[in-house]
Chains A and B, each alone.
Chain A
Amino acid sequence: EAQVTQNPRYLITVTGKKLTVTCSQNMNHEYMSWYRQDPGLGLRQIYYSMNVEVTDKGDVPEGYKVSRKEKRNFPLILESPSPNQTSLYFCASSPLRGGAETQYFGPGTRLLVL
């Protein structure tokens, strides 16, 4: 089954404790992206990747890191989480066909930073 998976689905942590949210896709998509969703603000892009070892900042990259060592995986790293990073996070992937394509989303990760 074609899918995007994220782990963990739910996470409660404390300020400053490093964490990683994993994202994996089995569709051989080149493009992967991380979003956060907050009430009234919609989905905002954090980072994206066009292919292995190619990553770039989205609209709200502060406080986040990513890596793309393999095509299928695109982990999101919070080196020192803060309460304003409490949010719902989605990973998404799409093929590259010359423009913005339909993106397929993972199930989401709910993060609470105390």
Chain B
Amino acid sequence: RKEVEQDPGPFNVPEGATVAFNCTYSNSASQSFFWYRQDCRKEPKLLMSVYSSGNEDGRFTAQLNRASQYISLLIRDSKLSDSATYLCVVGGSSYKLIFGSGTRLLVRP
């Protein structure tokens, strides 16, 4: 079983749609959680950190469920520019980050 699992997609949605991604992690001792965005074969860039209380940044909302060991990302009012691969990232007590394989999002006009 992978340490961090994501649905690879692709999710193909029209502009303006709301789309949600989920991610599960296997290590219950994990302490830090992130969503990164990666455009086609470019470097991953931090989209947002994920906090226990949930957090929102504009159209993006991230949630953490420690009991069920999953993280979610909700994108509202999708834009064409949101088309990318979204990586779920989990950190443990060490400094190591474990990356999911990513979920691909395609937003169509």
A residues in contact (CB < 8 Å) with B: 31, 35, 40-45, 48, 50, 58, 88, 90, 94, 96, 99-103, 105-108, 110
Contacts and interface: CB of A to CB of B under 8 A. Distances in A.
Interface residues of B, number: 24
A111 to B, nearest CB: 13
A94 to B, nearest CB: 7
A101 B101 contact: no
23 contacts: A31-B95, A40-B8, A40-B101, A41-B101, A42-B87, A42-B99, A42-B101, A42-B102, A43-B87, A45-B96, A58-B96, A99-B32, A99-B95, A100-B95, A100-B97, A101-B32, A101-B95, A102-B34, A102-B46, A103-B97, A105-B43, A108-B42, A110-B41
A28 B9 CA distance: 37
Interface string B40-51: 011111100100
Most buried by A among B42, B92, B97: B97
Contact of A50 (B4, B42, B95): B95
B32 A100 contact: yes
Contacts of B44: 43, 90, 105
Contacts of A50: 95
Given A99-B95, A102-B34, A90 B43 contact: yes
Contact of A96 (B41, B95, B99): B95
Contacts of B31: 99-100
Nearest to A96: B95
